[in-house]
Structure 1
Amino acid sequence: MASSAELSHDFPFDPAYGYDAPDALLRVPAPPAPDDFDAFWRDRYARARAVDPRPVLGPVEEERDGLRVHGVTFTSVGGVRLGGWLALPAEGPVRYGCVVGHGYGGRSAPGRALPAPLPGAAVILPCVRGMGERSRVDGIPDAADAHVLHGIGSRASYVIGDCAADLWCAASALTALVPALAASGQPGGPRLGYLGESFGGGLGALALPWDDRFGAAQLTVPTFGNHPLRLTLPCAGSGEAVRAYHREHPEVTEVLRYFDAATAATRLTLPTLVAAALFDPSVPPPGQFAVHNALAGERELQVLTAGHFAYRGMVAEAAELDARRTRFFGEWLGSAGSG
């Protein structure tokens, strides 16, 4: 791993934020939860699970990496119709399912490499509301700095809560389309995994503690960790829009308490692999590490030189993370298969 201190940049702030060693980052805590934090999220989850996703599987759009990729649409909370992609094994049975969150800005395609950790995956890649061509919603901005502020005046209306619900409804769509994945508590345990990077990493931390259909997760450079600290740190990502809003509306801190990924991670007990960066101009590293540090269950950490920033050695680090993910999810499925 290269030293983050060697990275040359022209940002008007330090993307390492003065944390010059992993040891200091590993001490960043999670903020305390509001008294009704669990009740708030369990209620949102119950309402999302009551939604009939009515998924529609489109024709095959491409075939690669041993998968046939279809377009898919489904219904989420509020009756909003969303889209994305579903990749199914070209040969052989489905062994497990995977929900893949995306970064801020959405996705316009499944991606160069479909992130199926192991063969036999049914992979749904949803676009959450407002993000990506397949999930445009009237009234919800599609630019990250505006999207992150949508409905932020109230915990009930904040779009981040609905985006977490979109992941739950995507899981419901996946299990409706692949009935073998539908039974939670089945012999062998849960058969759904989750992958999320940046925005998708933060959403995963918020969504996963309440959903027993999932058995393992990977969160890469997750956002939304330790909002009180994030509000003090300049950045080039969506957090800067929240900081600007906070300067005019300091009362927003009460809303943000319910959407803190590190606070939610204190409730996250499933095995979780976290990739957190030492240098990141878009998602401050202390917030990323706060998510990892707070995890209540089995956890594994890969420290990256940088996130949201090109650097020498990033290809090798990405390959290392891919190999670790394959091993991590393989151990989960092996354990589940022997349950």
Structure 2
Amino acid sequence: MSPGSTRMAHGHPFDPTHGYRLDDLLKVEAPEEVGDFADFWLARRAEALVCDPRARLRDTGEVNQGWRVLDLSYISTGGTRIQGWALVPESGQVVRGLIVGHGYGGRSEPEFELPVEDAVIFFPCARGLGRSWHPSISDQPHWHVLHEIENRSRYVLGGCVDDLWLAVSAMLALFPQVVGRIGYMGISFGGGVGTMAVAWEDRLQRAHYNVPTFGNQPLRMKLATIGSAASVQQHVKRRPETMEVLRYFDAAVAARHVKVPVHAACAVFDPAVAPAGQFSIFNALPGDKQLFVLEAGHHPHPRQTEEDARLRRELHNFFAAL
């Protein structure tokens, strides 16, 4: 089966391609940008960069596949403590850095199959999720995505973007030698908030997004899904004025402002993150970009192991330039 085929077995009550073929997906444009979009995000980043991350690492004593495992902790905006993991090589020098964002299921451990060597790798958990549990933020995706959604300054997705900017600050504080050689990679939720973060972040040099969400919010509110967008769709039906806030949290609009090379893996079939939203992010990227077309996202398929191996090879080559 070639990418773009609609003949994927599934048990969903809707077509996870939404009728789009690959040629159609490559034509999906980002929505119109609200007039003060850039001003909003640049002001937010300026506030985040004032924060002292007070970054800390604790050696767990664990070594896995040549990586030493460390506990990571730093302070993000609003005094929010962000926790996660860091990996450093068991032997050899740290000469580059990589920050890895997670999906909306959170993260319970670091990954060890990585496309970089001689690197420090941060796995921060976004506020309210995983190790960054917060008493006022639900860790359930369908509630987390609605937290403070009526206020663009307090909406949780903005805070999650802050957490990534502060991850860069924390990495540079602890490993100043990686300046100018830091990459980002994120999947699903991490791909969407990562796009919003990278758009304004001049301390990152490369980025990879895998099945990124939060792209093309107007279209995202119309397409059937089993993902976090379903709860947002229900909320917008009750409170249609919420769309005015969501216009500021559109990863496809943010993608227009990305200035670094990007590698994106976008799926033509995805029940959780509508493919049209994913491709609208990729299509909006204005500069150096590479596309890896996935047969499916958030859904197993017979060729997934081979597909994952090809993607890892591409990412190894992509991040070799760090």
Residues 1:138 and 2:138 are matched in the alignment: no
The 3-state SS of whatever aligns with 2:248 is helix
Between the aligned partners of 2:45 and 2:89, the Cα distance in structure 1 is 29
Q: SS in structure 2 opposite 1:274? A: strand
**Secondary structure of residue in 2 paired with 1:104:** coil
User: 2:315 is paired with a residue of what secondary structure?
Assistant: helix
Matching residue's letter, 1:30: A
Q: Deviations over 1:77-110 (max 9, x none)?
A: 0011110001011111112101100000210111
| RMSD, matched Cα | 1.1
* Paired position in structure 2 for 1:187: none
Shift of 1:44: 0.9
Q: Does residue 171 of structure 2 align to residue 174 of structure 1? A: yes
Inter-partner Cα distance in structure 2 for 1:122 and 1:114:
14
Question: 1:158 and 1:118 mapped to 2: Cα distance?
Answer: 33
Counterpart-to-counterpart distance in 2, 1:16 and 1:62: 42
CA offset at residue 70 of structure 1? Answer: 0.4
Offset, 1:65: 2.7
Matches within 5 A, 1:1-339: 2=2, 4-19=5-20, 21-111=21-111, 113-115=112-114, 117-132=115-130, 134-182=131-179, 190-330=180-320, 332-333=321-322
For 1:7, the aligned partner's letter is M
SS in 1 for 2:265: strand
Which residue in 2 is equivalent to 1:336?
Answer: none
Deviations 1:109-165 (A, max 9, x none): 113x343x2211110000010000x10111101000000000000101100000000
d(CA) in 2 for partners of 1:66 and 1:33? 45
Q: Which amino acid aligns with 1:101?
A: G
Q: What amino acid does structure 1 have at the position aligned with 2:272?
A: S
Provide, for residues 287-333 of structure 1, a one-character-per-residue CA deviation record: whole Å limited to 9, x for no partner.
Answer: 00000000011000000000000101011010000000011111x23
Aligned partner of residue 34 in structure 1, secondary structure: coil
Query: C-alpha distance in 1, partners of 2:45/2:140?
Result: 26
CA–CA distance in structure 2, aligned partners of residues 99 and 193 of structure 1: 6
Identity of aligned residues (%): 46
TM-score, normalised via structure 1 length: 0.93
Distance 1:197 1:34 in 2: 26
State how far apart, in whole Å, the 1-side matches of 2:161 and 2:9 are.
Answer: 35
Matches of 2:81 and 2:309 in 1, distance apart?
35
Contact 1:237 1:281 in 2 (8 A): yes
TM-score, reference length from structure 2: 0.97
Q: Which residue of 2 aligns with 1:337?
A: none
User: Using the alignment, how far apart are the partners of 1:298 and 1:41 within structure 2?
Assistant: 22
List per-residue Cα deviations over 1:205-240 (Å, max 9, x = no partner).
100011111000100000000000011111000000
> Per-residue deviation at 1:2?
4.2
- What is the deviation of 1:61? 4.4
Secondary structure, aligned partner of 1:149:
coil
Q: Secondary structure at the match of 2:205?
A: strand
